Homo-oligomer: A and B are copies of this chain.
Amino acid sequence: MSKLRLTITMSLDGYVAGPDQSEENPLGVGGMDLHEWFFPLKEFREMHGEAGGEVNASSAVVEQRLANVGATIMGRNMFGPIRGPWRDESWRGWWGENPPFHQPVFVLTHHSREPLQMQGGTAFHFVSDGIESALRQAKDAAQGRDVALAGGAAVVNQYLAAGLVDEIDISIAPLILGSGQRLFADLDHGRLKLTQIRAVDAPDVTHIKYKVS
């Protein structure tokens, strides 16, 4: 059955973006440092149409995360800026003309908008009627494959609170950010037991995969 799989990188103190996010600095102060393990990889370069790059213990994890995924769900801030040209329909997101997804991406937003077909197979669909609708649409688009939940924190927390996440594959970056967008914040629905599937010790990062009970 098609699963909803959270794949995200977090600092040891629980942040997926630093403070003071802006159009110039979408991941906030220090937020880019979260992904330092990812940038040198062959798999990262391939996603961006570039050759070369490193293969290390993270490579198999990235391959597993991309395998059998047919669609992605993200929050509106992951598509576009906190403030800025979002309401301008000419704005085509952070990701350039050839985004690294190469498949349908469902963007949760309060402002509906026509779909955006990008180069390389990425299409952004804007969903304004809630997380369950976005999940339904993403599963339809994925045609039996899984759906990736990419962030940010607010959207992830909504899906977790609704009990809709099947798997968490999280990368813990060696970094204390101190403030910013905190994953798992205000989960006032109480406790959630996880089953640890595997942990991987990789250069500058630890990847842990859980099944959500």
Residue of B nearest to A30 (CB): B191
**A63 contacts partner chain B, Cβ-Cβ < 8 Å:** no
Q: How far is the CA of A184 from the CA of B204 in the complex (A)?
A: 20
Distance A198 CA – B19 CA, assembled complex (angstroms): 28
Asked if A179 and B170 sit within 8 Å, CB to CB, the answer is no
What residues on B are CB-neighbors of A193 within 8 Å? 33, 174-175
Residue A1, interface by CB 8 Å: no
This protein's copies in its complex: 2
Chain A residues numbered 175-213 whose CB sits less than 8 Å from any CB in chain B: 175-179, 183-184, 187-196, 198-202, 204-206, 208, 210
A23-69 contacts to B, CB under 8 A, are 29-30, 33
- Count the A residues whose beta carbon is within 8 Å of the partner chain — how many? 39
A190: chain B residues within 8 A (beta carbon): 178
Residue on B nearest A207 in the bound complex, by CB: B199
Is there an interface contact between B12 and A13, defined as CB atoms closer than 8 Å?
no
A118 within 8 A of B: no
Check A204 against B199 for contact (C-beta < 8 Å): no
Cβ-defined contact, A12 with B210, below 8 A: yes
Could you tell me if A191 and B177 are in contact, using CB atoms closer than 8 angstroms? yes
A174: which of B12, B179, B195, B204 is its contact (CB, 8 Å)?
B195
A147 CB to closest chain B CB (Å) equals: 20
Chain B residue at minimal CB-CB distance from A187: B178
Q: Is A172 close to B, CB under 8 A?
A: yes
A14 at the interface (CB under 8 A from B): yes
Chosen A-B contacts, 27 in total, with CB atoms closer than 8 Å, are A12-B168, A13-B183, A13-B184, A14-B184, A30-B191, A160-B176, A174-B193, A174-B210, A175-B192, A176-B187, A176-B192, A176-B194, A178-B184, A178-B187, A178-B190, A178-B191, A178-B192, A179-B187, A196-B201, A196-B205, A196-B206, A198-B201, A199-B199, A199-B202, A200-B201, A201-B201, A206-B208
Known: A12-B208, A201-B201. 8 other contacts (CB 8 A): A12-B210, A176-B187, A178-B187, A178-B188, A179-B188, A196-B201, A196-B204, A199-B201
